[in-house]
Amino acid sequence: MREPLLIVDVAVEGDKKSWSTVLRCKSRDGQTVKLRVHGCRPKFWTAKSYNKLPFTGKVEGVVDVRHSDKSSVDGKELMEVEIESPFHYREVRDFYYPHYAADAKWSSVVRWLYGWEAVIEVDMSKDLDNLRPVNIHHSEVPVSDFTLDLLYFDIETADSLDMENAPEPVVSIALFDVKTGMHEIATTAPTSERLVKRFMASQEALESVVEHENPIPPVSKDKVTVINFDDPDPTQREADLFNWWVDALKRYDPDVLAGQNIKGYDIPYLVNRCRKYLRYHRMNVPPLDFMRRMPTFDTKIAYAEQVQGAAATTGAASLSWMAHSTLGYGKVPRTRITDLMVKDPMMLAVYNAWDNVCAARCMEKLDLLPFYIMKTAYHNSTLHNSHSNMMLVEDMMGHLLMKEGVILPSVQVVVSSMPEGGIEQGGFVMDAPVGVWKNAFELDNSMEYPSAIITGNFGPDTKVIESDYPDGFP
């Protein structure tokens, strides 16, 4: 029986000789479903003259070059180049310049090729580890029927903001799993789990340190766990912390990593700090580069994209400002982490965990996760691109044009076709047009507006039904 599934992530696994496309999906009952699809045929297109094409056998990785029914946006006939694996795109594409759809990620291209939109349908009685593209079907089930499992996390370092060099150690990592409600705080500054539980479970204790206008709901004691790392060697303590973090990600297996400014700080700091350990300390530390490829939901960016006022003007929103504005209470007051490590390790653990609490409660109250799921699904994309309007537009246009037999050009082709100098830097805003159009649309990538595409389909025949707006018109 076919079941509808929301595509959460698309990845390629294996190597040039043996590979498959893996789809991480979500069912309507909240179960994670992984589909392994074999037999996908990677390809791109070229406008190079037929008599100038290289002999297929001389270009390693090329399976075949054939005439196609596809064309460029400006009407050029294109030849189809089939390659052995997604790993060959970069190696062979320049032999076929000018090329089309040769520089997009496989996670996007494979969906354009086979028409996999936001929601698909699969016969669950089949071997889900051995599917073919023909087994993936279109679905009419709305995206609103699905939800995703988020894992919020936050790191504390020894007072370093240098993400590139990551000079100071990571001293604690706190996570909050939305599905189970569990908070885990792993720290290299050992503290009493009992005291941390008591503090976070006490409204009086929280309100004694957090500025608030509204009451602060506490956290249940049985939902808080503290993991202490107390090896005499501080380098080993940090290595143990990193290994715990990788183990936690495997245990919870979240659909999406979430948190405040994780794309701008937490993820790059962790990745670069682990690289330093592997390079200089030769420690048994797992590389964390895989975190960059996980679907992420950055609450700082999400809030800044939606809110009006100071946060939108600056392009960002501090967690304290966001929490006060949304919840009526904020963060545990900031203190030097190096001081807390020595003088008050209990408060360090609380400080770390409370950042996740604030971020998660803000998103829940504003209902922003469903909005971003809908936004990315509208563009037939995934949460990887939720904060990149250009990538959302590319995914949408890739799907729409492929249906019409039109292929998007590679970036290199677009740049070479521009007048000398390419695109000028800086903002450009047209004067507001006046008139009535049957169909109109506006593109905006300035992050000033919440939508990637602002559309209007209004005309003299537009009808507004009052029953659709029981609470009055917006």
pLDDT tens-place string over residues 347-390: 999 999 999 999 999 999 999 999 999 999 999 999 888 888 88
- In contact, 110 and 85? CB cutoff 8 Å: no
Cα–Cα distance, 50 to 244 (Å, whole number): 56
Q: Is the pLDDT of residue 308 over 60?
A: no
CA angle in degrees (0–180, nearest 5) for 411-407-11: 75
Model confidence at 227, pLDDT cuts 50, 70, 90, reads: very high
Q: What pLDDT does residue 305 have?
A: 79
Q: Supply the mean pLDDT for the chain.
A: 88
Cα–Cα distance, 282 to 299 (Å, whole number): 35
CA angle in degrees (0–180, nearest 5) for 405-407-408: 150
Cα–Cα distance, 117 to 137 (Å, whole number): 9
- Alpha helices by DSSP H, listed for 281-423, are 299-306, 310-314, 319-327, 337-343, 345-366, 368-378, 389-403, 411-417
Q: How far is CA 264 from CA 39, 103, 267, in A?
A: 37, 25, 7
- Least reliable range by pLDDT among 233-247, 274-288, 415-429: 415-429
- In contact, 116 and 431? CB cutoff 8 Å: no
3-state secondary structure of 374: helix
Radius of gyration of the chain (CA): 25
Q: What are phi and psi of 364, to 5 degrees?
A: -65, -45
Q: Is the pLDDT of residue 221 over 70?
A: yes
Name residue, tokens 């039904």: 465
The CATH class given to the 150-369 domain equals: alpha beta
Q: What are phi and psi of 441, to 5 degrees?
A: -150, 155
Calculate what percentage of the chain has a pLDDT beyond 90.
69
Is the peptide bond preceding residue 98 cis, with omega within 30 degrees of 0?
Answer: yes
pLDDT tens-place string over residues 13-37: 999 999 999 999 999 999 999 999 9
Q: Is the pLDDT of residue 48 over 60?
A: yes
User: How many residues are given for the chain?
Assistant: 474
Cα–Cα distance, 48 to 79 (Å, whole number): 8
Residues 391-413 have a mean pLDDT of 93
Q: Is the pLDDT of residue 442 over 80?
A: no
Q: Is the pLDDT of residue 455 over 90?
A: no
- In contact, 332 and 351? CB cutoff 8 Å: yes
71 bridge partner residues: 77, 406
Model confidence at 293, pLDDT cuts 50, 70, 90, reads: very high
Kindly state the tokens that stand for 146: 């699905």
Handedness of CA 98, 102, 108, 109 (dihedral sign): positive
Cα–Cα distance, 229 to 224 (Å, whole number): 17
Residues 277-300 have a mean pLDDT of 86
pLDDT tens-place string over residues 166-189: 999 999 999 999 999 999 999 999
pLDDT tens-place string over residues 104-134: 999 999 999 999 999 999 999 999 999 999 9
Cα–Cα distance, 390 to 304 (Å, whole number): 17
- In contact, 70 and 45? CB cutoff 8 Å: yes
Q: Is the pLDDT of residue 283 over 90?
A: no
- In contact, 254 and 150? CB cutoff 8 Å: yes
Q: What pLDDT does residue 310 have?
A: 44
49-81 burial, b if ≥16 CB within 10 A, otherwise e? Answer: eeeeeeeeeebeebeebeebebbbeeeeebbbb
